[in-house]
Amino acid sequence: MPTGEVKWFNDAKGYGFIAVEGGEDVFVHFTAIVGEGYRSLNEGDQVEFEIVSDSKGPRAENVMVTRSAEPGF
């Protein structure tokens, strides 16, 4: 499963990008984040995810935070 770091995530719009070492950035939508309730990511979060491709390019699915950038989480 690929890993990466959240480059940025806009809570208001519900999407952002994950930086993948040695590859291009991957689009992520809040619906792809594993969890219940309010789902969001923080800049700098370390994540694992699956990559799927569509007409717009690669996007992340089944995104799981492995290390939070927020202290105390």
How many domains are there within the chain? 1
* CA-based torsion, 60, 3, 16, 27: positive or negative: negative
pLDDT in tens, 8-67: 999 999 999 999 988 899 999 999 999 999 999 999 999 999 999 989 899 999 999 999
Q: CA-to-CA distance for 3 and 55, rounded, in angstroms?
A: 22
Q: What's the predicted TM-score (pTM) here?
A: 0.90
Mean pLDDT of the chain: 94
- C-alpha to C-alpha distance for 67 and 34, rounded to whole angstroms: 14
3-state secondary structure of 33: strand
Record the tokens describing residue 56, joined without a space: 């717009």
CATH number of the CATH domain containing 47 = 2.40.50.140
The answer to the question of residue 39 being in a domain is yes
CB-CB neighbours of 6 under 10 Å: 23
DSSP designation for 21: T
pLDDT in tens, 20-31: 988 899 999 999
